[in-house]
Amino acid sequence: MSNTPEKAANNYIGETPIRVDAYDRATGKGLFASDYYKFIPDLLHVKILRSPVAHCKITKLDLSKAESMPGVAKIFTMERSPFHMERLPESVRFPIDGECIWAGQPIAIVAAETVEQAEDAVDAIMLEYEQLPHILTVQEALDPHPKSIIDPASGHGDGVVDASNPWAGIGRLDIVKSKFSGEGVSPNIVGNYVLDKGDVNEAMKKADIVVEREFCTGRRSHTHLELATAICTYNSDDSITMYGSGCGIHGVIKSAIVNIFELPETKVRTIQPYIGGSFGGRLTPYAEVLCAMMSLYLKKSCAYQYTRKEQFTGSPAAWPVYSRVKFGATKDGRVIAQDYDCVEEIGAIQNNVSYTGRLSSSGAVCVYDIDNIHMDTAATVTNTMPVGPFRGLGCPESEFGMECMMNELADELGMSPVEIRAKNFIKNGGLDGYGEVITSIGVEKCLRACAEKIELDKPSEQDGSVWKRGKGCAVGGKQNTPLGRAEAIVRYYSDASVEVLISCDENGMGASTVMAQIAATVLELPIEKIKVIKGDSILTPFDNYSASSRTTYTTGNAVKIAAEEVKDKLQEAAAREVGVHKSKVEIHGDKAKILGSDVQELALSELFKNTSPYDQGNWGLMRFSPVEGHGVFCPAPIRSWGHDGLTKRMWNWFQYSAAAVEVAVNEETGQVKLLRVACSADTGNPINPKMVEGQIEGGVMMSTSYVTQEEEIYDENGAVMNTGLSDYRVADVLASPKQADFHSLINPDPLPDGPFGAKGMAESVTIPFPPAIAEAIYQAVGVRPTYFPMTAERILKLIKEKKAKEAAAK
């Protein structure tokens, strides 16, 4: 007989029911933003004239011919708009004083009766300009005397604080002793953060071995399949309704439109249809605000859909990161000192307050227990498109160097890459580099499971061909951003059917199904009884956005609280009906169990009365009027950090993952093939394991794609050249290992304050792959990549340099 307690009926935690949106997705019944074109008559179509070069001064902008063309309703520029154009998000901000600061920056916006007429009008605008010097890389940006200053209004080190930004003033220091602040640094440095724990210099002197390298990553696009789309209807009461592919219907899109155009909140309704991918790229409202601007001025319905080229040149990209990592360790593999620099390259962002290097560098202090840490971070601007969140929020880039150096340290000491990490991991209940208590960390279990799957302790077998094999591993940690309130409404009807109203984003990850599982489990009902309603700012309650893997944690907690409130109200109603105290009532699905009464069980449906002239229903429950619970959940506040950068609370919690890979490298071409992979995630207690596996598999292929081939390439004018899916190379099915060699593993460590112990995990799985692949390449052909993407050209160059050195040494 098993000692394992029997799982309660209708407990869906750890189960994988059919997704609540499965039918819509499988049959095509689910509507995406562009599907609404056919429902809205007389749409005007929006198009934009964009800067063709990275930096220029506009000398002539003649709109006369374009304005006289058939079907053209209106053309705006920075000077001609009646709105606060300076309030627009960075990726759609128009030139100030006629100076364009990135290729793709909007110059003029057109509304016309057809897409073709709008495009023709854009082509007819006469633009002349004086080209100015530009900078495109972090190295150019850090030059104390750069040939281009992107934001002349910015001060050294801190930028200009925008008080409307929720991060404004958070942790900002008047004096920070940093190599990235003070006299003699580049005017393109617009933020910095410093952390000091212990005495790094003294610890380095005591170390038996010191390793140090510099690393850098390239710029890449989110490349979601659905193009950015916005449709804005103008209503008879002077309100607007926005249908769009953006994320955050309350906290991002509606708030942006209300603030930019100074509208009453009741005048803006935002509706989120199905979304075709995001990865963070839809957390900046760009198509939506431009579409709203034209609709509000013309008092007509407008639509704007980006082209694929515009997605590459006019929407936020991931930010590249430069890092320098120096470890000091004892001969037994204990890391006693970490000296770390990190610079985020954030593109042409003005009035920066959000970027200081702190976001990316968070991953450098959440995995290992190191007594002495010095961390110096910064953000720099360049003449490239403004950046935005990308899956991992800079952690895959910043931890690339950390994990590469941990592998190199293991190689230098002749230690197992697993055991050297295990010796240095933070333990549950320990402190991270900030001084925060870590309450959930399953990273060691993840790493050991991955290493076992691909037999990391056994060297790769070679076949004598030009394809050399090697294995590597790495781990990663990703912070969960504390900003984010979530609300949920749960309605229980007389027939025990339930509505769950939420506004979190559904990017395809299955959030709606997870919320249904949580509600069904709390209410002890079959999941078929749960209907999820989402994504309409008039109907569904506030939610900031779905980012930083926060949805299961924040919205999940809100749904749980709302469902528990429903249970409490049903408990009260049943107690009154029978005449006992509510503490003697238990609610189980559609029944109430009564203690201490001759009525031992009550069908909850009996509590819902029909109204009649003889019983108007002023009190008690009534049919068709559901019992409603309202759940609100917001994480605990952060604590300001001092000049040492330390704080007891900077983030909510950390998600962890590990990867082990085997690759083959062609010595003659530099091509890299992924042969075997194991990836494991610490999800907290997983609500839906099958969807977790799907997130792991998707994350593996995404990171493999951008580690080995994805990169935006610029021409001599600073414009992106590869602006289509034919020349921006995304990994296809041929880049994936065979199914038998692809292992998705879950090794949870429950989060105490997560709903049923759950936490997010989708971002962390991308972090370990760059360093794991880099180490596997080293084990295969003896070269250490310090830049990704690790294209065949770059790997072949390293191989040739190695052979040249070996030949010279003979």
| Residue among 204, 756, 189, 804 at smallest CA distance from 520 | 756
Q: pTM of the predicted model, to two decimals?
A: 0.94
pLDDT band at 164 (very low <50, low <70, confident <90, very high): low
Radius of gyration of the chain (CA): 28
Token duo for residue 182: 């003070």
What HEC string does 324-351 produce?
EEEEEECCCCCEEEEEEEEEEECCCCCC
Q: Are 438 and 426 in contact (CB under 8 A)?
A: yes
The answer to whether 341 touches 305, Cβ cutoff 8 Å, is no
- State the pLDDT at residue 483: 78
pLDDT-above-90 percentage for the chain: 79
pLDDT of 1 above 80: no
Q: For residues 694 and 106, what is the distance between their CA atoms, to the nearest angstrom?
A: 38
What average pLDDT score do residues 212-234 get? 94
For 162-171, b where at least 16 C-beta lie within 10 A, e where not — what string?
eeeeeeeebb
> Cis peptide before 789, with omega less than 30 degrees from 0?
yes
Q: Can you read off the two tokens belonging to residue 168? A: 């404004």
* Burial status of residue 801 (CB atoms within 10 A of its CB: 0-12, 13-18, 19 or more): exposed
| pLDDT at 162 > cutoff 80 | no
Whole-number pLDDT of residue 167: 54
Phi/psi of residue 109, nearest 5 degrees: -125, 135
Distance of CA 177 to the CA centre of its chain: 31
DSSP 557-580: HHHHHHHHHHHHHHHHHHHHHHTS
Q: Over the stretch 322-356, which tens digit does the pLDDT of each residue have?
A: 999 999 999 999 999 999 999 999 999 988 878 88
Position 156 pLDDT exceeds 60:
no
% of the chain at pLDDT higher than 70 = 96
> What confidence category does residue 449 fall into, taking pLDDT thresholds of 50, 70 and 90?
very high
For residue 672, pLDDT beyond 80: yes
Model pLDDT for residues 552-572, shown as the tens digit of each residue? 999 999 999 999 999 999 999
The string of pLDDT tens digits covering residues 351-380 is: 887 888 888 999 999 999 999 999 999 999
pLDDT tens-digit map of 622-659: 999 999 999 999 999 888 888 888 999 999 999 999 99
Distance (Å, rounded) from C-alpha 145 to C-alpha 187?
A: 8
Angstrom distance (rounded) from CA 574 to CA 515: 26
The single-letter code of the amino acid at 524 is E
For 738, phi then psi, to 5°, come to -65, 155
Judged by average pLDDT, the poorest of 66-75, 98-107, 730-739 is 730-739
Position 731 pLDDT exceeds 70: yes
- Token look-up 């994350």 returns 699
Asked if residue 620 has pLDDT above 80, the reply is yes
pLDDT of 793: 96
| DSSP state letter for 684 | B
With a cut of 60, say whether residue 586 has pLDDT above it: yes
H helix or E strand, kind and range, residue 628: strand 627-633
| 433-444 per-position pLDDT tens digit | 999 999 999 999
User: Regarding beta strands 106-112 and 229-234, do their DSSP bridges make them parallel or antiparallel, or are they unpaired?
Assistant: unpaired
So what's the pLDDT on residue 173? 46
Query: Does residue 753 register a pLDDT over 70?
Result: yes
Q: What is the distance between the alpha carbons of residues 601 and 33, in angstroms, rounded to a whole number?
A: 48
Q: What angle do CA 410, 415, 420 make, to 5 degrees?
A: 65
Q: Which pairing describes strands 209-217 and 467-479: parallel, antiparallel, or unpaired?
A: unpaired
> In this structure, what are the phi and psi dihedrals at residue 761, rounded to the nearest 5 degrees?
-155, -5
pLDDT tier, 3 (very low <50, low <70, confident <90, very high otherwise): very low
Sign of the alpha-carbon dihedral angle for 372, 481, 158, 383: positive
Query: How many other CB atoms are found less than 10 A from the CB of residue 323?
Result: 28
Lowest mean pLDDT among 240-244, 473-477, 535-539, 758-762: 758-762
Residue 168's pLDDT band (boundaries 50, 70, 90)? low
pLDDT at residue 114 in the model: 96
Contact status, residue 493 vs residue 626, Cβ threshold 8 Å: yes
Q: DSSP characters for 54-115?
A: SSEEEEEEE-HHHHTSTTEEEEEETTT-SS-GGGS-GGGPPPBTTEE-STT-EEEEEEESSH
Question: β-pairing, 787-788 with 72-77?
Answer: unpaired
> Given pLDDT bands bounded at 50, 70 and 90, which one contains residue 56?
very high
Which of 648, 647, 651 lies closest to 635 in space, CA to CA? 651
Q: Does residue 470 have a pLDDT over 70?
A: yes
The average confidence (pLDDT) of the chain is 92
Name the more confident of 615 and 128: 128
Contacts of 67 (CB under 8 A, 6+ apart): 75, 121
Look at residues 399, 400, 377, 397 and name the one whose alpha carbon lies nearest to residue 387: 397
Query: Hey, what long-range contacts does 23-30 have (CB within 8 A, 24 or more apart)?
Result: 24/274, 25/274, 30/273, 30/274
List of residues 6+ apart from 698 with CB closer than 8 A: none
Mean pLDDT along residues 68-86: 90
DSSP state of 10: T
Residue 555 CA to residue 503 CA, distance in Å, equals 9
- The yes-or-no verdict on residue 158 having pLDDT over 50 is no
pLDDT tens digits, residue range 524-547? 999 999 999 999 999 999 998 887
> Cβ-count burial of 676 within 10 angstroms (0-12 exposed, 13-18 middle, 19+ buried)?
buried
What's the mean pLDDT in 166-195?
75
Name the strand (E) or helix (H) holding 294: helix 287-298
Least confident window among 40-44, 160-164, 536-540, 785-789: 160-164
Q: Which amino acid is at 691?
A: M
Segment 24-38, tens digit of pLDDT: 989 989 999 999 999
Residue 621 pLDDT: 92
Tens-place pLDDT, residues 675-708: 999 999 999 999 999 999 999 999 999 999 999 9
CA distance 488 to 486: 7
Residue 755 has pLDDT above 60, yes or no: yes
Angle at 94 between CA 91 and CA 96, to 5 degrees: 125
SS3 letters for 364-412? HCCCECCCCEEEEEEEECCCCCCECCCCCCCHHHHHHHHHHHHHHHHHH
704 residue type, one letter: T
- Decide if pLDDT at 145 tops 80: yes
